Structure formats: structure tokens, C-alpha cells
């Protein structure tokens, strides 16, 4: 559906789905189904959870992931590399085409294997595809959280960008980056008023912070989570018995939700099911709440505190011909 240019209204879709773990193509097929479904329901934006393609490294804390030089960890990591997304190789072309065909913007969490860092390290990246099918930004998570550092590399500020979407200015962060005040301020300073926080899944991540972010930024906040159940693992997954031991019904139970610029729930956290949550949002509500607090505008003091954003894409090699 064409993005409205003269309306305060925007319809957004939060796709809470599980990956087919370590299977890039099958997971992308599920993503495409949800993009088409969201477009069919009038959405202008479809958003997905962190690391969805090809999945979060749930095995690390369950298989002694910190053991150095472990043949088990090497085996699984090699599979993770094989199933990761290399944008330069065209792995997201089907998503780009679905966005273009349906005239819908897409925010997607991927495990990226970028060629510009040698092609053999992994980054948790948030990709923004516009409604013309163009990848406008790829934000690599600045700091992997806890055991994630055993699988993912630290990112940089290159993708800390916002994008115009109808009346809104949309930005997003991966998981625990949403706790980083200076990173949030970098988005506020660029005019963000629709924030998309993507998570691997878990109501413990979303039920408190979502409303805090909305009230701090006086913005709409979409928290989009993944889901992971024991049945979502392929039977040939290495170390499957160890991974699933004592896992319960969920390794990630969702928790996707939406809060308004006043910090109140529009959609409270939804747990335990794959679903597409669709909601229209109204930019007028942003403008109303900015009347008494605007963190990068009338309530800021740049003469006292200012922030520097380094958007340089980090590389280990600069070639001079």
C-alpha cells in the first residue's frame, strides 16, 4: 500500500514468528509470507525480531559455549556461518522484491556475514528496506550482550540512521541497545518519533522497557519479538538434547507490544504464539506529547551537553591504488 504523504495515520504490523533455526531460506520464506499478509491488511511497515534470519544462538548457554577451542562449538558455529545472511550475495533480494511489490517498508533482524569484514564473522544487524525495495540502512549491533559475544562481533555507528515513513521518522535498535541512553539520544537527535525495538523474544525484555522508551522519547514504540519453541529446532540440530534439556515450553516466548507517546499500552505484550499484530498509529499523538517534553528540542541544552555520532563503517583494510 502506498505510504501516505498527507495523513497523520500509518498502519504498522509486528510479525512475531519463529525462525527455522539455521535454515536461511526456510526462515526467509516465513518472512515473505508475513510481509504479504501485512500488506494485505493495509500495513505500511512490517517489522520482525532480532536475529530472526537464521535465528538466535540459543545453544550457547546450554552447550558450554565458553569452552575454548571446543569441537562442538566449532561445528555449530560453522553451520551458523553457512546459514547467515550475506547481503552482497543477494540473500535479501526476495525481501526487497516483496517490499517493492507490496509498497511496504520492512525492518528485519538478521545475522549478517558481511564481506567488508572479511566474510567470516557474524553481526546482529537491523536492516531497513523502504517501500521501493531499497536497503536504506544496515545497523550492526554495537555491543553483543553477554553470551552473544561468543558468536557475534561488535558493530559500529554506520547504521544509526532514521528514515521518513509518511508523517513519521522511524529508527530502530537491537535488543539491549535499547537500554543505551546515548544511542537512543542519537536517534532522538535525528527526529525519531517511531521507534522499533527488536528482540529475540521474551516478555521480560519488553513489558517494562517499551513504555519507558515511549514516555522518554514521546514516541510510538514497537517492540517486536521472535519466538522459539522446542518444536522449532530441526531434528538434525547438533547437540539438540543438550539444548532442549530443561528448556520448558519456550526458549523465547515473544512479548511483542506497542506503547504510545504517552507511555500507555496500545497493544500489551503478546506471548506464546506466532502472530501478526496490526495497529494504526496517529502522528498527532506525537505532537501532542511533545508539547511538554521534547528530548532533542525545547527540553534539550546543547550548550551544556552534546553527543557525537561516528557513522564511519569500520573496516580493517583501506586500499589505495
Burial status of residue 246 (CB atoms within 10 A of its CB: 0-12, 13-18, 19 or more)? exposed
- Our answer to whether residue 175 is catalytic in this structure is yes
The cell numbers describing 222, all together, are 514497537
Contact residues for 68 (Cβ-Cβ < 8 A; gap 6+): none
User: How many alpha carbons fall within 13 Å on the CB side of residue 88?
Assistant: 7
How far is C-alpha 14 from the geometric centre of its chain's CA atoms? 11
According to DSSP, the residues that pair with 10 across neighbouring strands are 281
Give phi and psi for 193, each to the nearest 5: -135, 5
- Please choose, from the candidates 147, 107, 155, 97, the residue with its C-alpha nearest in 3D space to the C-alpha of residue 129: 107
Q: Which of 141, 257, 285, 289 is catalytic?
A: 141
Q: How far apart are CA 275 and CA 18, in angstroms?
A: 10
30, 43, 175, 285: which one is catalytic? 175
The residue annotated as part of the active site, out of 43, 50, 148, 289, is 50
Considering Cα of 28, then 95, then 10, then 169, what sign does the dihedral take? positive
Exposed e or buried b per residue across 280-313, where buried means at least 16 C-beta atoms within 10 angstroms of its C-beta: ebbbebbeebbeeebbbeeeeeeeeeeeeeeeee
Q: Is 50 a catalytic residue?
A: yes
The verdict on whether 61 is a catalytic residue reads no
> In whole angstroms, what is the distance from residue 177 CA to residue 106 CA?
20
Distances (CA, A) of 189 to 95, 122, 162, 169, 300: 29, 29, 10, 11, 10
Q: What are the residue numbers of the active site?
A: 50, 141, 175
Amino acid at each position: 500500500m502506498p505510504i501516505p504523504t498527507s495523513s497523520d495515520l500509518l498502519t504498522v504490523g509486528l510479525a512475531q514468528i519463529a525462525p527455522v533455526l539455521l535454515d536461511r531460506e526456510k526462515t526467509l520464506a516465513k518472512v515473505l509470507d508475513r510481509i504479504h499478509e501485512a500488506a494485505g491488511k493495509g500495513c505500511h511497515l512490517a517489522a520482525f525480531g532480532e536475529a530472526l534470519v537464521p535465528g538466535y544462538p540459543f545453544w550457547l548457554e546450554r552447550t558450554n559455549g565458553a569452552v575454548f577451542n571446543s569441537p562442538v562449538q566449532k561445528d555449530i558455529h560453522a553451520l551458523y556461518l553457512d546459514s547467515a545472511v550475506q547481503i552482497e550475495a543477494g540473500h535479501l533480494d526476495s525481501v526487497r522484491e516483496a517490499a517493492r511489490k507490496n509498497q511496504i517498508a520492512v525492518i528485519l533482524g538478521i545475522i549478517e556475514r558481511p564481506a567488508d569484514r572479511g566474510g567470516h564473522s557474524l553481526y546482529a544487524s537491523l536492516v531497513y528496506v523502504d517501500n521501493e525495495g531499497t536497503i536504506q540502512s544496515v545497523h550492526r549491533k554495537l555491543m553483543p550482550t553477554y553470551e552473544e559475544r561468543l558468536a557475534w562481533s561488535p558493530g559500529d555507528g554506520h547504521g544509526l540512521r532514521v528514515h521518513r515513513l509518511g508523517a513519521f521518522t522511524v529508527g530502530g535498535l537491537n535488543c539491549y541497545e535499547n537500554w543505551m541512553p546515548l544511542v537512543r539520544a542519537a536517534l532522538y537527535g535525528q527526529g525519531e518519533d517511531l521507534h522499533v525495538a527488536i528482540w529475540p523474544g521474551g516478555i521480560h525484555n519488553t513489558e517494562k522497557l517499551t513504555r519507558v522508551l515511549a514516555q522518554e522519547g514521546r514516541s510510538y514504540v514497537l517492540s517486536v519479538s521472535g519466538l522459539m519453541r522446542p518444536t522449532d529446532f530441526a531434528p538434525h540440530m547438533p547437540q539438540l538434547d543438550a539444548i532442549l534439556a530443561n528448556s520448558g515450553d519456550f526458549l523465547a516466548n515473544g512479548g511483542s507490544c506497542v506503547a504510545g507517546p504517552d507511555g500507555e499500552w496500545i497493544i500489551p505484550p503478546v506471548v506464546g504464539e506466532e502472530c501478526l499484530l496490526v495497529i494504526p498509529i496517529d502522528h498527532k499523538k506525537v505532537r501532542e506529547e511533545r508539547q511538554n517534553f521534547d528530548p532533542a528540542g525545547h527540553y534539550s541544552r546543547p550548550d551544556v551537553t552534546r553527543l557525537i555520532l561516528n557513522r564511519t563503517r569500520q573496516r580493517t583494510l583501506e586500499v589505495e591504488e
